[in-house]
């Protein structure tokens, strides 16, 4: 921590900001969301609602883990139906 004290004088969050952020929208399929998470190597991606004028309203985050759990539970339900 002592080594990083000097960074407070010149390093700000904007310096590390992703300039072209990616988000998924409510109407995107889970396949599209998983592809984005995989292609971009993210563990989560912002989920947004499209507004007029090309604006977006942040709804939350879609996590890789949540999508995998959903598909896992869906698979378990289908196995139960097949038995």
pLDDT tens digit sequence for 59-77? 999 999 998 898 888 887 7
| Strand runs labelled E in 1-82 | 24-25, 44-50, 56-63
Q: Where are the domains of the chain?
A: 21-82
pLDDT at 31 over 80: yes
Which CATH architecture is the domain 21-82 placed in? Roll (3.10)
Q: Percent of the chain having pLDDT more than 90?
A: 20
pLDDT tens digit sequence for 35-54? 888 888 889 999 999 889 98
What's the mean per-residue pLDDT of the chain? Answer: 83
pTM of the model: 0.62
Contact 48, 59 (CB under 8 A): yes
User: For position 7, what pLDDT does the model report?
Assistant: 63
């Amino acid at each position: 921590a002592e080594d990083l004290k000097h960074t407070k004088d010149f390093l700000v969050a904007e310096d590390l900001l992703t300039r072209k952020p990616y988000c998924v929208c409510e109407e995107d399929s889970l396949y599209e969301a998983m592809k984005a998470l995989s292609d971009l190597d993210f563990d989560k991606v912002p989920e947004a609602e499209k507004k007029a004028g090309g604006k977006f309203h942040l709804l939350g985050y879609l996590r890789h883990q949540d999508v995998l759990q959903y598909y896992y539970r869906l698979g378990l339900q289908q196995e139960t139906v097949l038995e």
